[in-house]
Structure 1
Amino acid sequence: MDVKGFHLSYCSNIHPGESWEATFQNLKIYIPEVRQRLKAEGPFGIGLRLSNEASLALERPEKLREFQDWLRKVNAYVFTLNGFPYGDFHRQIVKEKVHFPDWTTTDRRDYTIRSFRILAQLLPPGIDGGISTSPISYRHWFKTTDALNQGMETATQHLLEVVEELVTIHRITGKLMHLDIEPEPDGVLENSDETVSLFLNWLLPKGKPWLAQKFGITESEADELIKRHIQVCYDVCHFAIVYEEPAETFAKFEAAGIRIGKIQISAALKVMIPETPNGKFSLGKKLLSFVESTYLHQVVARDAKGKLKSYSDLPQALELLPESKEEEWRIHFHVPVFLENYGSFSSTQETISIVLKEILSKPEITQHLEVETYTWEVLPEDTRLSLGESIARELSWVIGEMG
């Protein structure tokens, strides 16, 4: 929906189900309910999570026509897709497998191109479309620098082949779309410096001569095409976990000519570490309710000198908590954005408010906003609401923050 010129929605990866039938059924149930709860008027934007399985079904013309007819009927539109999780994302062990298949594989490339071809047929006129995606791969899968460099070489070629497809679609249909790479803790790209490095050390050096030859253009024109069609998904939770300040990150991307295709509005769990053994013991017991087997909950700790230390999952951090000299932990747990506190814990909700103020003052940063809290099923019971109510409260809080 339009909020002060921004397209705002929630990401439908909150709903379980990998098939297109399950995905469509959830949209039919929750889009009308959320619209009614918000008393939203006008076209209602959808942030669609489309698995590989669902994309194979939706590319069939009869399925696509049925969906288009439904969108017209309910006055809704799709402007962004979540193409990060390729396969099943609920009610099973996901952990680092959320990155699989990664950008070193043709499976990831083909799924993404298929999704863009679908999105091109769903996008309303005059709106650009984006698909968020994995930050190349899971960094701990690469045991040596040589292995990582080889993976980056292959991944870069696959990303450029997506750019080639997007340039072709834009020339034929006029639909402008971008791939929005989403940095994440323990991804190959997990912060702004590593994201800038992807462009400066891989995409541009390799891509400019390759695209120039493909399309018979100058390398300067190829540079612009790469930056137009590969952008960043700025997940507020992820950047808050690595302690980045939004204004500094936005300025860094702007200086490098990197655009932000989508901001995912999300909050991380934040805890302050007590100094005493008893305090740490009590904290550890309370955090046990957030230990679960479905998703990775990476922890980034900061000590009094500002030094950061990463843990691959919450259980590993809890093992070392008794000896910890750290002051603060930020935990990759997408907690509800409308709650500032969770008992004795807090969240990085304040960072969302800062981000929203930044984009209201500089709307050129991005026009796509997507609330992404997908962990409702694994949250402690005292933080849960009905799903429709939860989605509406998230969006309502964001609308309120935007004035």
Structure 2
Amino acid sequence: MRFRHPDGTRVHLAYCTNVHPAEDLDGVIAQLAAHARPVRERLGAPLLGVGLWLARPVVDALLREGTGRLRAALAANGLEAVTLNGFPYRGFQERVVKHRVYHPDWTRDERLRYTLDLARVLAELLPDDADGGSVSTLPLAWREPWTPRDAGAARRNRERLAEGLAGLGRTIRVGFEPEPGCVVETTEGAVRHLAGRDGHGVCLDACHLAVAFEDPGEAVARLGAAGLPVVKLQASAALHLDDPADPAGRAALEAYAEPRFLHQVRERGHGAGADDLPAAALPGRGAWRVHFHVPLHADPPPPLRSTRDVLDGTLRALLGGARALTPHVEVETYTWGVLPGAPPDRADGIAAELAWTRDRLTALGLKEDT
């Protein structure tokens, strides 16, 4: 879906296909018809953006065979791709993912090659009239271990990344995605580790922003002052529990402890955190927020609630002013497969999330651009 900001910037809205498990080219092509097209049809949209997740084996196949079949499948299903999710390398919907999602990290040449290969593929997938593309990637590495030698290796790989992107013929920008528990946890960490180094930007995930208890307006202003562009917003929401001392709240949260993904927990005001659910060791003296991407349009069962208000504030900070501060918005609720009480038809839920986001964009003054 395409929109026009009042300043004339085209803003693309997509949903991320890392919610689907395919990790071969035939499977990725099949999921466009099986999943993405029904989402578009439920929205009644003539064109829908997909933020493709292409695992390493899919990228290898595209480099061997070319992008022709994938481009044809996108067109046949009324879809377009201007952004890729390059955070998971492979195996993202396996039974257990947890810390494996951070490997290989930016100390490794494999991460550099994967990201450049994604950029090459995206340069061929971009619509002719697109101003450019974006690739999101992990926030350098998980925080431990992180040595001066690791920092040097990551810095050299980011420099090589900038050199590789310069020769693509299309504008492709890479956004490093701050996440709790990683080397780059917050927008302050992004400024410290990334600003002024290599011309790359940030992928701002609203769920991660909320878990870190960052104020959206302050976070966006901080990045802007440091010259770090927001190359993509991931529209997402976290779980929030006002009173962790309440046994009913703890019990409700236990339903979200599951073996596939990592669900970092942070406590407001005490600097306390846990790397995963359950988080029984935390003091419980302040509100908790949990890195569990919950649907944008629906509330979790009380006393839990979602941080949809943080996402709303982030949309306002990026797109509610005189200038559009990001061209790409990607709904990224990858947890439908482990969400308690999730309906069997994900297309309905994804379409409802996109409709919610569309309505927020138009309320900010953006116009649908067909």
TM-score with structure 1 setting the length:
0.85
Tell me which residue corresponds to 1:211.
none
* Superposition map of 1:196-345 within 5 A: 196-200=191-195, 204=197, 226-227=198-199, 230-273=200-243, 275=245, 279=246, 281-302=247-268, 306-315=269-278, 317-318=279-280, 320=281, 324-345=283-304
Contact 1:91 1:294 in 2 (8 A): yes
Contact 1:17 1:88 in 2 (8 A): no
Aligned-residue offset at 1:378 = 0.8
Q: Would you say the 8 A contact 2:37–2:79 is kept in 1?
A: no
Q: CA deviation at 1:274?
A: 5.1
Equivalences for residues 46-125 of structure 1 within 5 A: 46-62=50-66, 64-125=67-128
State the 1:325 CA deviation.
4.4
Does the 8 Å CA contact 2:176/2:201 hold for their aligned counterparts? yes
The superposition leaves residues 176-230 of structure 1 with CA deviations (integer Å, 9 ceiling, x where unpaired) of 1111100101011010111001134xx62xxxxxxxxxxxxxxxxxxxxx32xx1
| Contact preservation (8 Å) 2:206, 2:234 | yes
The residue type paired with residue 164 of structure 1 is E
Distance 1:153 1:123 in 2: 33
Equivalent residue for 1:27, pick from 17, 32, 35: 32
Q: 1:325 to 1:26 in 2, by over 3 A?
A: closer
- Indicate yes or no: 2:347 matched with 1:388: yes
How has the CA–CA distance of structure 1 residues 325 and 356 changed in structure 2, closer, same or farther, with 3 Å as cutoff? closer
Q: Is the 8 A contact 1:47 1:78 kept in 2?
A: yes
Q: In the alignment, does 2:162 pair up with 1:163?
A: yes
> What amino acid is aligned across from residue 3 of structure 1 in structure 2?
F
- Letter matched to residue 290 of structure 1: Y
1:61 Cα shift? 3.4
Q: 1:164 to 1:373 in 2, by over 3 A?
A: same
Equivalent residue number for residue 209 of structure 1? none
C-alpha distance in 1 between matches for 2:84 and 2:3: 19
1:180, 1:232 within 8 Å by CA — same for their partners in 2? yes
Tell me the SS of whatever aligns to 1:7. Answer: strand
C-alpha distance in structure 2 between counterparts of 1:264 and 1:297, whole Å: 17
Higher RCO, 1 vs 2 (CA within 8 Å, ≥6 residues apart):
2
Tell me the C-alpha RMSD between the 2 structures: 1.6
Unaligned 5+ segments in structure 1 are 205-225
1:364 is paired with a residue whose SS is: coil
Question: Over residues 136-183 of structure 1, what are the superposed CA-to-partner deviations in whole Å (9 max), with x where a residue is unaligned?
Answer: 01112x1xxxx52211110111111111011122xxx2x111111001
**How far apart, in 2, do the equivalents of 1:247 and 1:113 lie?**
32
Separation of aligned partners in 1, 2:305 and 2:206:
15
State the 4+ residue runs in structure 1 displaced beyond 6 angstroms.
none
Return the alpha-carbon distance in structure 1 between the equivalents of residues 344 and 242 of structure 2: 26
**Residue 310 (structure 1) shift:** 1.5
Tell me the distance in 2 between the aligned counterparts of 1:268 and 1:3: 26
Q: Is the 8 A contact 1:79 1:127 kept in 2?
A: no
Corresponding residue for 1:222? Answer: none
Matched with 1:133 is 137
Number of residue pairs the alignment of both structures matches: 355
In structure 2, relative to structure 1, the CA distance for the partners of 1:242 and 1:391 (3 Å cut) is: same
For the Cα contact (< 8 Å) 1:10–1:370, is it kept in 2?
Answer: yes
Q: Work out whether residues 236 and 331 of structure 2, in 8 Å CA contact, stay in contact via their aligned partners in 1.
A: yes
Q: When you count helix as a share of all residues, which structure comes out higher?
A: 1
1:7-56 deviation digits (Å, cap 9, x = unpaired):
00100001112222212211121222111100002x32221001111111
Partner amino acid, structure 2, of 1:314: L
TM-score (norm 2): 0.92
Distance in 2 (CA, whole Å) between partners of 1:366 and 1:150 is 33
Q: What is the aligned counterpart of 2:328 among 368, 371, 384? A: 368
Query: Structure 2 CA distance, aligned partners of 1:385 and 1:98?
Result: 26
| Other structure's SS at 2:82 match | strand
Would you say the 8 A contact 1:235–1:265 is kept in 2?
A: yes
- Can you give the 5+ residue segments of structure 2 that lack an aligned partner in the other structure? 5-9, 364-370
Instruction: Kindly provide the amino acid, as one letter, of the partner of residue 86 in structure 1.
Output: Y
Equivalent-residue separation in structure 1 for 2:214 and 2:344 (angstroms): 31
The Cα of 1:283 is off from its aligned counterpart by 2.7
What does residue 366 of structure 2 align with? none
CA contact (8 A) 2:244 2:287 kept: no
**Cα offset, 1:6, TM superposition:** 1.4
Q: Percent identity?
A: 34
Cα distance in 2 for residues equivalent to 1:371 and 1:274: 28
CA shift, 1:113, in A, is: 0.9
The answer to whether the 8 A contact 2:132-2:171 is kept is: yes
Q: Distance in 1 between matches of 2:316 and 2:92?
A: 32
SS in 2 for 1:293: coil
* Counterpart-to-counterpart distance in 2, 1:364 and 1:293: 39
**Pairwise CA distance, 1:246:** 0.9
